[in-house]
């Protein structure tokens, strides 16, 4: 790649990153509906022409923010078993779980979306991504006697439930702590004891 196209690519990435950051900053104090393209470009210190070179509507910008986060989520979910021929959950250290690092890195985005009117749609989207990843990548390690679709759905909602609780607690725990707790939950085997009054 030539130096000119390389510097152009860097400039495009920088402009897009500035627009995304500006949108997320504005969403901390205003609803998405109230934010204009002028607001976004002024905060990003760019002109409207730069915005329209990359996006037609502010919704296109927000969709790309979501796509970026989802792609990073997929990468972080797959990290513990990427490149392995055989993956054994029991041999995985808690430090291999990087999904909470991902959430922490995108904390501003997750907090905004979870607390906004888009929360239910976003929750469904994240759970669907996690469910589909489990079914596609980890189906071979699921127990044969359990319906894989139900198990994958259960796991995805459980993980997102932990993320929601972490957000509600304003990220008071570290990503490493959250990974360790998920690790304990994965390996927890309750005895079949029924407590009676």
**Structural domains of the chain sorted by starting position, each given as residue range(s) with its CATH number in brackets:** 1-56 (1.10.10.60), 65-192 (1.10.357.10)
Cβ atoms within 10 Å of 176's Cβ, excluding its own = 14
Quick one: pLDDT band at residue 161, thresholds 50, 70, 90? very high
The pLDDT of residue 90: 63
Does 97 or 54 have the greater pLDDT score? Answer: 54
Quick one: pLDDT band at residue 173, thresholds 50, 70, 90? very high
Residue 99 has pLDDT above 90, yes or no: yes
Q: Which of 73, 96, 120 is nearest to 182 (CA)?
A: 96
The whole-chain average pLDDT of the chain stands at: 86
Residue 132 has pLDDT above 80, yes or no: yes
Query: What is the mean predicted confidence (pLDDT) over 20-24?
Result: 94
CA atoms of 117 and 31, how far apart (whole Å) = 9
Q: Strand runs (DSSP E) across 108-193, as ranges?
A: none
Residue 91 has pLDDT above 70, yes or no: no
Q: What percent of the chain has pLDDT over 90?
A: 55
Is the whole-model pTM more than 0.75? yes
Cβ atoms within 10 Å of 177's Cβ, excluding its own = 13
pLDDT in tens, 39-81: 999 999 999 999 999 999 999 999 999 999 999 999 999 888 8
Quick one: pLDDT band at residue 83, thresholds 50, 70, 90? confident
The pLDDT of residue 117: 62
57 — phi, psi (to 5°)? Answer: -130, 165
């Amino acid at each position: 790649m030539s130096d000119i196209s390389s510097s152009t690519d860097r400039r495009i990435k920088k402009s897009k990153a500035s627009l995304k950051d500006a949108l997320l900053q504005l969403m901390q104090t205003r609803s998405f509906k109230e934010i204009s393209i002028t607001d976004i470009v002024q905060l990003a210190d760019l002109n409207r022409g730069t915005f329209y070179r990359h996006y037609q509507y502010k919704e296109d910008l927000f969709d790309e923010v979501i796509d970026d986060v989802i792609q990073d989520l997929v990468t972080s979910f797959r990290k513990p078993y990427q490149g392995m021929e055989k993956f054994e959950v029991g041999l995985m250290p808690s430090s291999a779980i990087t999904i909470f690092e991902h959430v922490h890195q995108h904390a501003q985005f997750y907090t905004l979306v979870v607390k906004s009117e888009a929360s239910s749609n976003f929750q469904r989207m994240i759970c669907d991504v996690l469910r589909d990843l489990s079914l596609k990548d980890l189906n071979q390690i699921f127990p044969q006697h359990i319906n894989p679709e139900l198990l994958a759905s259960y796991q995805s909602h459980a993980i997102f439930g932990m993320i929601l609780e972490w957000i509600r607690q304003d990220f008071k725990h570290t990503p490493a702590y959250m990974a360790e707790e998920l690790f304990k939950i994965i390996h927890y085997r309750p005895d079949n004891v029924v407590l009676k009054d």
